[in-house]
Chain A
Amino acid sequence: MNKSNNNVQASLFITCIIDNFYPEVGESTAKVLDYFDVKLDLPENQTCCGQPAFNSGYWNESKKLAKKFIKDFQNSNYIVIPSGSCTSMIKVFYKELLHDEKNYTEKINSISSKTFEFSDFLVNIMGINDLSSYTEKSDNQEEDLITYHESCHLRRELNIKNEPRQLISSISNIKLIEMNQSEVCCGFGGTFAIKYPEISSEMLKDKILNIKSSHSNLVTSCDSSCLMQISGGLKKQNEKIKTTHISEIIYKRLKSKIE
């Protein structure tokens, strides 16, 4: 699979949403990492990090899933996740969730220190912060104008603000257009979107207005769950603007690799 002599080895956690709803995001994540010679594996028992249960107050259920995750990934060097939200769950909230569990302090510290969101991993672990020499322009010029939605957990739990922007804007021919209020929540919030649909959809309306007034043709983000909310709203409103995960834009534009 990977013939590189690079020593970076990483396990993919592909998240339950991506595995089932957006498998193509998983594919592009894997292919981009492979392109940069990361030695990948996919721990086969992985399912869910436990965040939905945690956020809804069912900590006992969430704990079981967290312990399962820790076990599934205990031998990984790095864990790369194409989601800021699931990464935060593992990196930040496992500590809160499992604080009273005996013998878990060390395990949590270890898992937390080796878990990275996809763009964070590319920029800060792989040292790739300029994609211009790896990418080429696409045939579809409509996809050259891109706006970026900052996902909440990525920004506020992981403090990742510039990395995705740096990656996107360095892709050949792409123009990153900053929308207004890019950092404001799209209204997803997991079960919040179902429990309080009126509030959530009003937040979504604002997000869509800001996307539209950026005059870009494509919205990207590091979280497929935000994009599920945004694209769902765009489609309901019959808007032509498309959504795409950051790994997909990068993968689409990568030059073929010459070795």
Chain B
Amino acid sequence: MKPSSEHFNKTVKDTLNNPTIQKNLSGLYNGFHKARIEASNSTENWESLQELGKKIKDHTISNLDYYLEQVHSNVTKNGGQVFFSKDSKSATKYILDLAKKNKVKNVIKGKSMISEEMGLNDSLQKEEIETIETDLGEYIIQMADETPFHIIAPAIHKSKEDISELFEKNLSMPKSDNPEVLAKEARNQLREKFIQADMGITGANFVAADTGTLILVSNEGNGRMCTSMPKIHIAIMGMEKIVPSIEDLSVFLPLLIRSATGQMISSYITEINGPRRNEEIDGPDEFHLIIMDNGRSKLLQNKDLRESLNCLRCGACLNACPVYRKIGGHSYGWVYSGPIGAIVSPVLTNISDAKDLPFASSLCGACKEACPVKINIPRMLLHLRKEISEGNSKKISISSLFEKIMFKFSTILLLNPKFFRTATKLLSIIQKPFLKNGVFEWLPAPLKSWTKYRTLPAIQDIPFHKRWVSIFKNSNNND
């Protein structure tokens, strides 16, 4: 799936008309969003952690070539194998080849957004390799044959009734409205899968360059099972997930966890230093780290958008965003949703098809305020808008052509105060027959979409600049 205007408009409409989804989305404000604010308020040095986090990320992204090499060398030293992959095609091939070579039949997966970029589950299943998501949210949406609705809470749009129905159909269990009963059944089912699996695939929250350590943050413990039970563990990471040193985790773990769920610390933090060593009992025989570009170098090369690579994928901007809290994750049409998705999706897919994403924002800046590493998302949205409006897109629609002409024309007027004032004077006269109680209740397109939901005030007969001269004569008699 890729973003498109058609998909966007349809899904927005469907989502706005779905009361279950609307209820769950509006719950994000008092849920994750407020929990994040509380957690950050109770972290004494939050601001300086943010500053430090931003600094480290800026530094790492500007020196990515150096740190990529360091990761390669240290992971190899730890006994792991590193594969640099340009795109999802080559990464998929690497995984399939490895699966074939080892006669893999059952794969278990930890939550990984980058594997969603690859559509990895489909590719594995086409080769008749059973692939099971083990994060509860991912498990649910895999069952529903959907994509993640939210970066950290993939099934946030589902009610417990929806989930119970899915479980009834797929797991043949009786209906239940008790989340504990539902979770327990999922746990029972997954236990078997963990035992059977011969390959585990996870994402990466961080990779520390100086030690070659992979860090996974989770609440369910499934990530740890995926990395330790099967014979082979593959971790896939976007090339931006590097931190220079394992010590940097003292900055990034609180930033990530507190911004994501509002917890002070997650239930599990797993640090992987390669495959099982000879003296160890548990762990995989092989550890593979796939470092993927998949379009990220386009972000890296663009100085105005590079900051988007600082993202920790905590999802705080989604929870803070009043637009996301209305249109939900699926409207964005690709893996990453919300404000950060509106930046990276158009670049990683195709900007001319994804042009709604940067524009469907009121630029309120709630994302910027929420971001643990202070990514200036509105600024990047503005740059993408510029690229779209001024670009030479072949698919220019009549409405965007009209808009272009309007802006060029109004600028000519605004540059000439006399023209502009004559034009508004004329409008103030022409408008008269259309006014009702001093406001517009209906106007033709393009303002029709305004008056459908609000009235529009009339242009006043005497604008302020005409009143200016007389203002003080009338009011300040005491002077």
Asked if A55 contacts B385 (CB within 8 A), the reply is yes
Asked if B369 contacts A156 (CB within 8 A), the reply is yes
Asked if A192 contacts B322 (CB within 8 A), the reply is no
When the two chains form the complex, which single residue of B407, B428, B472 contacts A58, counting CB atoms closer than 8 Å? Answer: B407
Bound-complex Cα distance A2 to B479 (A):
8
Q: Which of B334-364 contact A (CB under 8 A)?
A: 359-364
Task: Kindly state the interface size class of chain B when it binds its partner.
Answer: 35 or more
Bound-complex Cα distance A1 to B471 (A):
9
B258 in contact (CB, < 8 A): no
A136 in contact (CB, < 8 A): no
Q: Chain B nearest CB: distance from A114 CB in Å?
A: 21
Asked if A23 contacts B467 (CB within 8 A), the reply is yes
Asked if B414 contacts A56 (CB within 8 A), the reply is no
Asked if B365 contacts A20 (CB within 8 A), the reply is no
A126 in contact (CB, < 8 A): no
Asked if B446 contacts A194 (CB within 8 A), the reply is yes
B66 in contact (CB, < 8 A): no
Bound-complex Cα distance A190 to B407 (A):
13
Asked if A57 contacts B364 (CB within 8 A), the reply is no
B408 in contact (CB, < 8 A): yes
Q: Which residues from chain B contact A65 at a C-beta distance below 8 Å? A: 411, 414-415
Bound-complex Cα distance A190 to B362 (A):
7
Asked if A19 contacts B362 (CB within 8 A), the reply is no
B420 in contact (CB, < 8 A): yes
Q: Which of A11-26 contact B (CB under 8 A)?
A: 14, 16, 18-23, 26
Q: Chain A nearest CB: distance from B436 CB in Å?
A: 10
B456 in contact (CB, < 8 A): yes
Q: Which of A214-233 contact B (CB under 8 A)?
A: 228-229, 231-233
When the two chains form the complex, which single residue of A1, A57, A59, A206 contacts B472, counting CB atoms closer than 8 Å? Answer: A1
When the two chains form the complex, which single residue of A21, A184, A206, A236 contacts B453, counting CB atoms closer than 8 Å? Answer: A236
When the two chains form the complex, which single residue of B403, B453, B464 contacts A201, counting CB atoms closer than 8 Å? Answer: B453
Of all A-B residue pairs in the complex, the 6 with the closest CB atoms, nearest first, are: A189-B362, A232-B454, A57-B389, A26-B464, A156-B365, A57-B385
User: What 13 additional pairs, Cβ within 8 angstroms, besides A68-B414, A259-B479?
Assistant: A20-B424, A21-B460, A23-B463, A27-B464, A48-B414, A57-B389, A152-B363, A152-B365, A153-B365, A181-B29, A185-B322, A190-B363, A199-B360
Binding site for A on B (CB under 8 A): 12-13, 16, 26, 29, 322-323, 326-327, 359-366, 368-369, 379, 382, 385-390, 403-404, 407-408, 410-411, 414-415, 417, 420, 424, 428, 439, 441, 446-447, 449-450, 452-460, 462-465, 467-468, 471-472, 475-476, 478-479
Binding site for B on A (CB under 8 A): 1-3, 14, 16, 18-23, 26-27, 30-31, 34-35, 42, 44-48, 50, 52-61, 64-65, 68, 93, 96, 152-153, 155-157, 181, 183-185, 187-204, 206, 228-229, 231-233, 235-236, 256-259
